Structure 1
Amino acid sequence: MSLPKRLLTWFRPDTTRPLTQAWLAALWMGLLANWPLWRQLSSMPDAGPGFAVVFAGMVTAATGALLSLLAWPRFIKGLLVVLLLASAALAHFIGSYGIVFDPTMVVNMLQTDVRETRDLLSWRLFASLLLLGALPAAWLLRRPAAPAQPLTRRLGGNLAAFALALVAMVVLALSVFATLSSTMRNYKTLRYMVTPLNAVYSLASAGARRQAAPSGPPAVIGADARLLPQPAGAKPPLLLFVVGETARAMNFSLNGYERPTNPELAKLPVLSLRQVTSCGTATAASLPCMFSPLGRSAFGDLKGPQENLLDVLQRAGLAVLWLDNQSGCKGLCDRVPNSSTARLPEGAAPLPPGLCTKDELGEEECFDEALLHGLDKRIAALDPERVKRGVVLVMHQMGSHGPAYFKRSPPDLKPFLPECRSNALQQCPREQVVNGYDNTIATTDRLLARSIAWLQGQATRFDPGMLYVSDHGESLGENGLFLHGMPYAMAPAEQTRVPMILWVPEGGGLAASLKPGCLAALRDKPASHDNLFHTVMGWVGARADVYKPEWDLLAGCRAGG
């Protein structure tokens, strides 16, 4: 074969071959679907254009190496179509919101409901899916079948391509080793931006963890749970535990924020703790950890399912009820009475007009105030013997869930305008994004104030109190980041600093048991989700072997504590 023909064959490879298809897809995904990664590298002072070019070569070689091992007829096309579409979607979300795709994000994604998924849909997402995913996938599917080839020859070609890709990766890495090592050390999130390898790794890691988890019922904790004896004439406790969603501490005026996001709570005798950190940066990670006695560090090492705070409280003899206005309780409420804003108690009046809305697809979403509707009937439906001992009512908010913040506040409660009316937050002026978010905090403020008003009405039967804390925070464009879900070790304070608010009414049994002025001293004391399990146990007078008084925020304030 003449030299011109050889060159023409080289530049016009046989696209029917699975190995050729694999490498063309690797080039497409490595170079084009990673545009958020190249944008990020271009903004780093210690990573110049030369490094970006070399890193692009490494990413392409790594993707090609993996696909070379999988380049087999009747298999490679389907795999590449899935990877192309996944890479296109990841490019949109990473580029638009600055998120990364790690194993925790996989779990969060699998637990997302229709409402949350709907909020993420946009024309920009469809455009990315079309241009980066569907078009190359359509071209790929139109390629004719490859001619028959002996198994050993195809295997040898695949292994040779794999080996050459590894050699190329090593050579490229060595050529920029100093810059590569410092960049990967200083910017650890980069590893979760490499598409589609981030998806392959994260899905495999999440799947391996799920397979490794033992099957069967959750491990029992607090088998000796019991209630402390109450003084004669004492009223049973009624604790309203409000689990917030995506609320960050720095946007609460109770914590010093310059905007009046808490006008109603500011009029009430509440205590806002200002130095509280979360278990995680996403609901799937934080929520189970919040209800565990282990604390964040030990909970991360947990190998299998375990009972939680609700199980222990119920075993102690209390009435427990979970009310949800979100995507579910992540398994926490499976063994206790539970309901949602969509399921009204029998005999309850219909929800007032305007409290719930339907979108163009007919999906219904209720504002968090619907959680307060029919509470008396809900409590009346619980076991009366348990109610006599006390009630723990958990309300799980929709809160400030993004990116469609404008949907989370009702029309009559939007003090900060104009607000971003799009889920493409990066397309709105940042002040409009903040306005929309702050309106959700004002909505939570009203919910908590009205919750306290309801609790005050229960004081003839119970010793009421309220504890509010969010599951995680939120980024609103700081350093190009939106939403949440960053790996905890790399997450900014906006995603890990959360509000915690206590209402302990004067004249109640709990207040009488506390040293005067002691609660106020907790305002600037460091606290975290680690304290929740033990603080709630102490609050309602429940004890078990898993209770740690040193983690109970109120223990030091009790008389004799």
Structure 2
Amino acid sequence: MRTPLVLAWLTALWIGTLANWPLWQQLLQLPELDNSAGRLFVLAFMGIVTALHGAVFSLVAWPWLLRPLMVFSLFSAAALAHFMGSYGIVVDPSMVVNIVQTDVREARDLLSLRLLVSLLILGLLPALWLYRSPVRRLGGWRQLALNAAGAVLGLGVVLALGMASFATLAPTMRDHKELRYMISPLNAYWSLGVVAYESQAQPDGPPAVVGADARLLPRSADAKPPLLLLVVGETARAANFSLNGYARPTNPRLQQETDLLSFRQVSSCGTSTAASLPCMFSHLGRNAFLDLKGSQENLLDVLQRAGLAVLWLDNQSGCKGLCDRVPNAQANQPAPAAAALPAGLCDAEECLDEALLHGLDQRLAALPAERRARGTVLVMHQMGSHGPAYYKRSPSGAKPFQPECRTNALQQCPREQVLNAYDNTIAYTDRILAGAIDWLKQQSGQHQVAMLYVSDHGESLGENNLFLHGMPYAVAPREQTHVPLLLWLPPATSAALRLQAGCLAQRIDQPFSHDQLFHTVLGLSGVATSLYRPDWDLLSPCKAH
């Protein structure tokens, strides 16, 4: 029969050693620790992590509280071990936001046999042992004293081992900041607390108004109203676009569009949809947006306030609040007065991105006529290349690269098959964008048409044993932040915008970022506001003044 404190420390020992195996694996792969002194440091750090959990668990080592909290911690650590070990992710506050905002279909893609095995071995087995272990009950004051002693002991061990290994600990934590978000499950608890605190700190009420002075620039009486199609890509990395020099033909149809430009050096606001999407639709730019307290209106609000018709069409897990105040629809919802979606585009779980193109004429006609007469901005939010089940993102008849990885356990597939599955999604995006351009060409008789495509973030495909995305921005690899940006402007639109011939083509290798999106869209749609920064408008340097 063991006291609650002993059971708490035994749980801490299990979690601190076995359940944190991704952390130890990551440490042992660091070149600076590839020696006997480095391996001794890993053992010392294992002691630090175990003692840290022991100190925290000591605080809740009460007979009525211990088992449920320890079981929850065991299963949390087991699940986190699977995802961190399989995909190389870390669990910081931004990742917690992603988890909270994940919908059922995204969560379903993450289920696998390896996850089940991890939950059984690292979670269920110790949980069963813990529930079968009899607990020795002590008096309240005695238990309180023991718990306090256990917490002090744990902190003392952390301090002693930290001082003893400080010469290695300090530079390792400084050079590899992501390691602190791999100490499981305390990383998740801490990050969840940060997210909860920040959400409570947000002021109540509607978002702050921005662009209150937004208005349409004057146009000649015979000018056509603009029709801008803004396509928000998902998890597309610029390096895999043949338009950007990729060796594989992932953009066969777009490469035939002579009026299309691909900007090759574009950086994202974040490494996840939850981080990037609100940032890229803000006028502030990434640096100022990170310091923003409270919520603000976004690009869609400004466009609508100026008098344009705005529609957000989604094939993802939502618009992250961006489209709450403008007309919006899901891709699986048939357009008003349009035929039903063709068979095969949608199933019970999700839709292919071609569903976004269905019934566009009807969706456009359903918007207020007086607004459409001034101009329209249609936003399409793709499912794109969302992983890890890349094979689900392209239809069976549009998979030029074979064989492809057909599981969400990417680490089980040869990397060539992972690349095939991912590149098939890029090739399918090429088909979607080409179809969108074809539709815009049909509208060119009544509208001044243009298309702007940009992805929200990139993706790791096994480089340095990393998969997926969501790494802290400061340490994220370029694969997760280097995104494609495409601009299609037919000659009539270029002339209406007074663009100098060949000027934009000379800018495709200049460094840009999501900071330019808000201001470039204002320039394309003819909206004036004091928020507008011409130096952040991709087109402004090329306009004849």
1:134-149, aligned counterparts within 5 Å? 134-147=124-137, 149=138
User: C-alpha offsets along residues 164-209 of structure 1, whole Å, 9 cap, x if unaligned?
Assistant: 1111111111221111111111211111111111111111111111
1:397-476, aligned counterparts within 5 Å? 397-476=382-461
Q: Are 1:209 and 2:194 an aligned pair?
A: no
**Is the CA contact 1:322–1:333 (under 8 Å) kept in the aligned structure 2?**
yes
Q: Are 1:85 and 2:75 an aligned pair?
A: yes
Cα offset, 1:342, TM superposition = 1.5
**Is the CA contact 2:497–2:543 (under 8 Å) kept in the aligned structure 1?**
no
Other-structure match for 1:96: 86
User: C-alpha offsets along residues 421-471 of structure 1, whole Å, 9 cap, x if unaligned?
Assistant: 110000100010001000000000010001000000001110000000000
Q: Are 1:261 and 2:264 an aligned pair?
A: no
User: C-alpha offsets along residues 491-530 of structure 1, whole Å, 9 cap, x if unaligned?
Assistant: 0000000000000001236555111111111211111000
Equivalenced residue count is 540
- Secondary structure at the counterpart of residue 453 of structure 2: strand
Counterpart code for 2:64: R
1:17-32, aligned counterparts within 5 Å? 17-32=3-18
Other-structure match for 1:59: 49
Which is worse superposed, 397-406 or 184-193? 184-193
**Is the CA contact 2:332–2:355 (under 8 Å) kept in the aligned structure 1?**
no
Other-structure match for 1:370: 355
User: C-alpha offsets along residues 475-506 of structure 1, whole Å, 9 cap, x if unaligned?
Assistant: 00000000000000000000000000000001
Query: Partners in 1 of 2:474 and 2:22 — Cα distance?
Result: 21
Counterpart code for 2:416: E
- Secondary structure at the counterpart of residue 240 of structure 1: strand
1:190-229, aligned counterparts within 5 Å? 190-229=179-218
Q: 1:428 to 1:387 in 2, by over 3 A?
A: same
Query: Partners in 2 of 1:220 and 1:144 — Cα distance?
Result: 60
Q: Are 1:516 and 2:504 an aligned pair?
A: no
**Is the CA contact 2:332–2:346 (under 8 Å) kept in the aligned structure 1?**
no
Other-structure match for 2:297: 307
Query: Partners in 2 of 1:311 and 1:53 — Cα distance?
Result: 54
1:263-278, aligned counterparts within 5 Å? 263-269=252-258, 270-278=260-268
User: C-alpha offsets along residues 46-102 of structure 1, whole Å, 9 cap, x if unaligned?
Assistant: 222211111100000001011111212211211111111110000000000000000
1:247-258, aligned counterparts within 5 Å? 247-258=236-247
- Secondary structure at the counterpart of residue 369 of structure 1: helix
Q: Percent of aligned positions with the same letter in both sequences?
A: 64
**Is the CA contact 2:448–2:492 (under 8 Å) kept in the aligned structure 1?**
no
Counterpart code for 1:499: P
1:35-50, aligned counterparts within 5 Å? 35-47=21-33, 48-50=38-40
Query: Partners in 1 of 2:116 and 2:331 — Cα distance?
Result: 32
Query: Partners in 2 of 1:24 and 1:145 — Cα distance?
Result: 13
- Structure 2: where are the runs of 5+ without partners? none
Counterpart code for 1:454: W
**Is the CA contact 1:463–1:509 (under 8 Å) kept in the aligned structure 2?**
no
TM-score (norm 1): 0.95
Counterpart code for 1:332: L
Query: Partners in 2 of 1:205 and 1:78 — Cα distance?
Result: 23
Query: Partners in 1 of 2:31 and 2:307 — Cα distance?
Result: 60
Counterpart code for 1:99: I
Cα offset, 1:366, TM superposition = 1.1
Query: Partners in 1 of 2:264 and 2:496 — Cα distance?
Result: 21
Cα offset, 1:145, TM superposition = 4.7
User: C-alpha offsets along residues 401-424 of structure 1, whole Å, 9 cap, x if unaligned?
Assistant: 000001101111111100001100
User: C-alpha offsets along residues 348-401 of structure 1, whole Å, 9 cap, x if unaligned?
Assistant: 1111122223xxxxx331110110000000011100000000000000000000
Q: 1:80 to 1:510 in 2, by over 3 A?
A: farther
- Secondary structure at the counterpart of residue 502 of structure 1: strand
Which is worse superposed, 158-167 or 442-451? 158-167
Question: Alignment partner for residue 71 of structure 1, among 24, 49, 61?
Answer: 61
RMSD: 1.1
Other-structure match for 1:320: 310
- Secondary structure at the counterpart of residue 499 of structure 1: strand
Q: 1:203 to 1:275 in 2, by over 3 A?
A: same
Other-structure match for 2:375: 390
- Secondary structure at the counterpart of residue 457 of structure 1: helix
Which is worse superposed, 38-47 or 254-263? 38-47
Other-structure match for 1:346: 336
Cα offset, 1:283, TM superposition = 0.3
